[in-house]
Structure 1
Amino acid sequence: MANQTPSAPRKRGRPTQAERAQRRDDILDAAVRLLVAGGFSQVTLDDIVAEAHVAKRTIYGYFGDRTEIFLAAVERLRDRTTGLPAEEDSLAGLAAKIVFALHSDEAIGLHRLMIIEAHSFPDLAKRFYRDGPQAYVTALNERLPEPDPEQAQALFTLLLGEPHRQRLLGLRPAPDRAEAAAHAQGALAQLGLTGDLGRVERNRG
Structure 2
Amino acid sequence: MTENSAELDEKNVRKRGRPVQMDPAEREALVLDCAIDLLSENGLEDVTMADIAKRAGMSKRTLYALYRSREELLGAGLKRMSKTLFRPLRQEERDASLEERLRILLTFTPGKHPNSLVIEMLRAVIAAVPSYPELGRRLSRKGPGQVAVLLCEELRRAVEAGEIEIEQDDIPAVSDLLVDMVVGNTISRLLDPDSLPRTPEETDARRDRAIRIFLNGVRPRKA
TM-score (norm 2): 0.60
Matches within 5 A, 1:93-104: 93-97=104-108, 104=115
Cα deviation per residue 1:33-58 (whole Å; 9 max; x = unaligned)? 5997239xxx65224224x2622279
Q: Which of 187, 206, 211 is matched with 1:188 structurally?
A: 211
Q: Which of 69, 72, 78 is matched with 1:74 structurally?
A: 78
Give the letter for the 2:189 counterpart: R
Aligned to 2:11: none
Contact 1:34–1:48 (CA under 8 A) maintained in structure 2: no
Q: Which of 117, 137, 143 is matched with 1:132 structurally?
A: 143
Matched, 1:29 2:36: yes
Q: Which of 111, 121, 125 is matched with 2:132 structurally?
A: 121
Q: Which of 96, 107, 125 is matched with 2:118 structurally?
A: 107
Unaligned runs of 5+ in 2: 1-15, 95-100, 160-167
Distance apart, 1:182 and its partner CA: 0.8
Give the letter for the 2:49 counterpart: L
Q: Which of 175, 178, 192 is matched with 2:201 structurally?
A: 178
Distance apart, 1:118 and its partner CA: 1.6
Q: Which of 46, 52, 57 is matched with 2:50 structurally?
A: 46
RMSD: 4.1
Aligned to 1:155: 178
Alpha-carbon distance in 2 for matches of 1:69, 1:12: 21
Residue identity (%): 20
Unaligned runs of 5+ in 1: 1-9, 195-201
Cα deviation per residue 1:5-56 (whole Å; 9 max; x = unaligned)? xxxxx989799x9x989845641314645997239xxx65224224x26222
Alpha-carbon distance in 2 for matches of 1:186, 1:155: 11
Contact 2:74–2:125 (CA under 8 A) maintained in structure 1: no
Contact 1:95–1:184 (CA under 8 A) maintained in structure 2: yes
The one of the two structures with greater contact order (alpha-carbon pairs below 8 A, sep at least 6) is: 1
Aligned to 1:92: 103
TM-score (norm 1): 0.65
Q: How many residues align?
A: 181
Give the letter for the 1:28 counterpart: A
Contact 1:137–1:152 (CA under 8 A) maintained in structure 2: yes
